[in-house]
Structure 1
Amino acid sequence: MTLHDARTFNLPRTAGTWPAQRLVEARAVIANVARHSDHLVRLACNVLVTHGKSDTERRDARALLFVIDARRPMRQRHVERSEREAGQ
């Protein structure tokens, strides 16, 4: 690590930049939901539900979170069924 790297590594971060960056990332995940894992979509929805700028954005994130969570038990049942069939 060079001296320049050490100096830039320890720069104080402004308190207002990281929440805005997380919102941008969460919106990008939601915009391309088909390409991201359910876990990442769930995290993005939680960020938007908590920190979304508008009521519509928070409501839509809650609705998508409901859909993602509703799919989870079906997938879990499929995994359990596959494990039972493999054991026979």
Structure 2
Amino acid sequence: MTIPLPFRKRAQRDEVRQDWIDERLREARIVVADVVNHSDHLIRLACNVLVQHGETPAEREDARILLVVLDARSPGRAGRHRPDPEVRR
């Protein structure tokens, strides 16, 4: 015989988690809608959220394109993780 433990109901936890995700998506959309007044770092973060969790394919694609534009705007950042071709042995 097992005694039931007093855990929260799964539905309540899932509802709270979904509310948190919805709030992060709302914040990401606000940042992307007001690109001029936010830093590139914050815009990249918001775009990454929308690429992963956007509601529609168009929203995800627009966020991905904005990431490409940001990378083109700062070309030094895009090659930061690539090995230097002159250092080869």
1:25 maps to 2:27: yes
Give the Å deviation of 1:74.
5.7
Q: Which amino acid aligns with 2:55?
A: K
Partner of 1:16: 18
Kindly report structure 1 stretches of 4+ aligned residues shifted beyond 4 Å: none
- Number of residue pairs aligned between Structure 1 and Structure 2: 64
Superposed, 1:2-81 pairs within 5 Å as: 14-73=16-75
Give the Å deviation of 1:14.
1.4
Q: Which amino acid aligns with 2:66?
A: L
Q: Which amino acid aligns with 2:74?
A: R
CA distance in 2, matches of 1:40, 1:24: 14
Structure 2 spans left out of the alignment, 5+ residues: 1-12, 78-89
Q: Which amino acid aligns with 1:55?
A: P
CA distance in 2, matches of 1:47, 1:41: 10
Report SS of the residue matched to 2:74: helix
Give the Å deviation of 1:71.
1.1
Partner of 2:8: none
CA distance in 1, matches of 2:19, 2:62: 24
Q: Provide the TM-score with structure 2 as the length reference.
A: 0.66
CA distance in 1, matches of 2:63, 2:28: 10
Q: Which amino acid aligns with 2:31?
A: V
Percent of aligned pairs with the same amino acid = 58
- RMSD of Structure 2 on Structure 1 (CA): 1.8
